[in-house]
Structure 1
């Protein structure tokens, strides 16, 4: 709500604003919210993260070549 109310993107929040939400937030939050990191974190089975998509493509290629 903080960023929406202020009309800011998450990446534009100051560290102090992040820490008002929760004191555990540290400077590494900015790396954690980059699009690349967000996608990479979606790594559960069938997820849309890089590793899972790559694995799904390999599985599909294997299935196609078996037939």
Structure 2
């Protein structure tokens, strides 16, 4: 991104430069928004298991006991 900024800074002040500066601002904001390390990582919330969660794996068995 610094190479693009250097190139745009060397451009004469016209509409093309203004459009390029707007694109740089958009690109920087998009990168910041999509950066997975912008917020500290955290473990996902794991819900408490329920009997219905294992039902598909039990076949004819009941999740509540014999």
After TM superposition, the score normalised by the length of structure 2 is 0.31
Higher RCO (C-alpha under 8 Å, 6+ residues apart)? 2
The structure number with the bigger radius of gyration is 2
After TM superposition, the score normalised by the length of structure 1 is 0.31
